[in-house]
Each structure stands twice: as structure tokens, then as C-alpha cells.
Structure 1
Amino acid sequence: MRGAHPRVVLGLHRSRYERRPLTAALDLGVRAIDTAFNYHGFTAHQRLAKVAGDLLPRLTLSTKVGYFPGPDGAPQHSLAPSRLLAALEQTNQALGRPPNLVFLHNPEVSLHAPADAAREALSQACEALADASRRGWCESWGIASWDPTPLPDLIDDTTPAPCVLMVRSGLLAGIGTLDAADELTARWRPSAVWGMSPFGGNAEDPVWKTVDPRMFLQEPTAEVSRIQAAFRVAYDLPSVRTVAVGTDNPAHLQEVLQALDRDTDTAMLLKYRKLLRERHAAINGSEARP
């Protein structure tokens, strides 16, 4: 059994929900997993309890609520407090225990109403999860947002603040995501910020054979793979404490874990963000922020 890696969460978005990747993760020191009510065709929690029920007490488990089965079986999104709480109640029953952390899943998907209505919907959804935490249905709650750019304009001092914020991180996260994450972190002051999708959803994407992320390390060497460098950079674009990485391949998980002790080049990362902002401004015809 390796030493614990509290800065890494095993994401189960595309997982086959088999036992071996979970036991391998534990052996490597990864003791946190992240899933969602809608993963694995809305059966993720039941599947986890079936294949790894005896492992769950050894794991810190986060999940998400926000997507529900539609009339045709396709996922549909809702921020209705009653639906969120019902999903969380089902989650407790399926897992046989309260999850350690529950995220409001991609709230931006249902926030296209006029600003006042969207602001109220977000506030009520956040309050529902805060209430669930008070009831003991979860230890804490957070917000996981694939596109957080609308959120800063929809929160105020009355919006319940999440304990954890999770956003996309890494070299493929756009400047809008990075800036919104920084602003939400400054305003909400969550106890932790997590990153997700450090490889843009696919570590085998050709981009990682074309771009060399090692340029963002203080000591780029051939001993560090491009995948390892990309994973390490994900902790600084934006600044996050923990990164959720999805894989059923223990060798891939072991590879990225070996990058955690590398240091990034702060000046290069600042230059990269500046270039992203300038490109965004050129495309949108607005002035770049300093």
C-alpha cells in the first residue's frame, strides 16, 4: 500500500465500474472517487455498491446531482430542489451510506432564464444541498461546473457558498473558465477547489503528441512524459488543490501520480494565460484585461 495521494481523485465518468481499478487505486494511495447520479446510465451508485461495497468504507466518495432520466430515457437537467433532494435520498439508499461530498452538477445548464430568475434558481438549488448537508444526507456540498462563465454574474451575498468548487483545469481549459474559476474562488472562498478533465476528456488525443506541456515545468526533462506534464500543469490552470482524473487503467493512474512532485514555471503559465486572453479578445473584438 502506497502513501496516500489526497491531491488526486479517481473520476468515474467513463468508468466500466469494475472492481479492479478501485483496488488498484487504493494500492496506489488514491482513496477518493468521484461519480454522479446520472453516470453509468443512472446506475453508478447501485453498481458501486454491488462490485465494491466492502471498499466504500475505505474510500472518500463524492457524487453529483442535477441530471435526471427524461421521458425518452435521455438525461435532462433540473435545479428543482425537490428533484435534487429526491436524487440525494436515492443516492443514500443505493450506497448504503451518505456520500462525503455532493456537487450541484453543471448548474449553468438550467440558468438560461432572465438574470433574476436564474439567480433565484441557483440560490434555491444551493440552499437545497446546504439543507441536505445539515440533515446528514451528505457531509458537505459543492458545485461542479463544466462552464462556470455565467456563474459570477448570478451570485451575490445571499447565495449559499459551496464548500468545494470543481471546474475544468489544464491546458485545454479556456480563459473564460480560468477567469470565472478565479472570481468564484475569491468570492465564495471554498475550503477547496478541484480541477477535472485535465486532458480535455482524452489522454490519447493527438494534441498531446503535438504540443509538449513539458515547457511549463521548471525542469523539463525527457524523464517526464507529456501526459505527466499536462497533468501537473492542471493544478495551476487555474490554481486547484485536487484534480479528478478518469481512468480504468492502473498504469495510467500510476504514471500521472509520478508527476505530483514536479514544479511548474510560474512565468510561463502567466504568459500562457496572457496569450489565451489576447486570443479571446481578438476573436470577440474586446480589449484584453491586463
Structure 2
Amino acid sequence: MATPIGNAADLTLRALSVLGGVDAIVCEDTRVTRRLLTIHGIDRPLLTYHEHNAARMRPVLLERLRGGQSLALVTDAGTPLVSDPGYKLVREAVAEGLAVTALPGPSAPMAALVLSGLPTDRFLFAGFLPPKAGARATALAELRPVRATLVLFESAQRLPEMLAQAAELLGPREAAVARELTKLFEEVRRGPLDALAAHYAAAGPPKGEVVVVIGPPGEEAAAPGDMEAALRDALGRLSVKDAAAEVAAALGLPRREVYARALELAKGNGGGGR
């Protein structure tokens, strides 16, 4: 049986029982996990599994599971399988009909969502945004119409730039920046995106691991004039197809409707239907 377990000092009694009874514990860094186990008096064989050796180790671990061994998968921080190669191991184990269970532990995305004070009835965890500004702008444009609170990971060094870009592309939304969650120097800063961007531009990147939570869009609908103005601007830079996609994502409008209007504008300007 494979058991993903969140790695933290405040382990549940069930997690301690599982860790003490499995045939081997699979972890990112044996030094980190051994310290945790030593605190709780647990001595089990350790195997490494991380993004650099995952392709080589998965067949080894699956063979052990097929042979009837029980394995526990832990991570250095957070929850296994969330932005983590562990999901591939679980996917293959499930595909083979091997038993898998989970013992949830601390989760940075969930902790940030709860502490943000933003709506929790509907949310989207989007992982890391692309590091380069152009690709990040495209990703933010795709996320803009999503009627849900957005939960994102971000590098501390890129945080000021990302917040400024999000404020520009997503508009005046409430947000929260949470860092070092469940650790000694935990901090949550809340406010409008532009205010948070201004704070970190002045203060510089924070230390530690960061989660950004952004509130959902307002209910106001885009006016027809907004779409046309946005299309005229986009058509000056992009093909009809790409311009329509950008504007539809930015304004939260049906892509087919925007594409039809983009074609009309392009033909009216003699640009054809690229």
C-alpha cells in the first residue's frame, strides 16, 4: 500500500502509526525526513524520490508495492502530490489496481486560502505562473474570467513583479500574500493587488516560501465598447485568432462571439481573416 503523508512536526497519531509500521518510507531528502522520524522515535528504511530521480525510481517503488510491501511517501514541506512528482507515482499505482490512501497534513494552499479572508466556496489552485512576463501575462489573461478565488505559488524574488502585473491585468481585486505558513515566521499581508504590489516594490522580495491568494472578479459585465476597443488594440499587434483569444480571456466573454466581431473589424480595415 502507498500512503502519501504531509511532512510536519504536528503529525497526527494515525500518521505516526503508519510511519512506524510501513516497510519503507519514501522521501525527498533522507536528512530532512530522518530528523523528523528521530523526534518521534521511528526507525524505518528510507528511499529517495524527487523530481530528478522520479522516472528511475517509480518502477522500483511499484515493484515493491506489487510484491506486497507497504510504502509511505512524505515530502520535505507541504502536501505530497501538490506541485510534486508524487502524483505520477500514485497515478501509476492506481492504474495497476494497487491500494493507495492519504493521510492529509499541513497544506500551504489551503492554509493560505483560509487565512486570506477571501471567498472559499469556490477556488482554483493554479500552481506557479510562468516566470517570464509575456507568458505570465497570457496565463493571467486566461485566469481573469474564472469566477473563483485564485491560489498561486510564487517565487519570493518574482513576487513584486508578479503582483504589479496581476494588478494591471486583473484589476482592483482583494488579495493576500502568505509566507512561511505553519512555520515560526508565518506572515499574511492582505489588501488590494495594487497596494500589495506597491508594498513589495518598496520593501523588496520577502523571505521564505510564498502563496498568493487573489479574490474572484466582480459581477460587472464588459460593455460592447470595451470589447471593440480591446479588439482594435489587439488587432494592431496580433492575428485575428490570437486577438480574439486575448480579448475573450481578458473580458470574460465567449470566444466565438469575440472572434466573429474580430473578423468583422479586420475585414473592415482591409486586414482579411488571418
TM-score by length of 2: 0.32
TM-score normalised to structure 1 length: 0.31
**Larger of the two Rg values belongs to structure:** 2
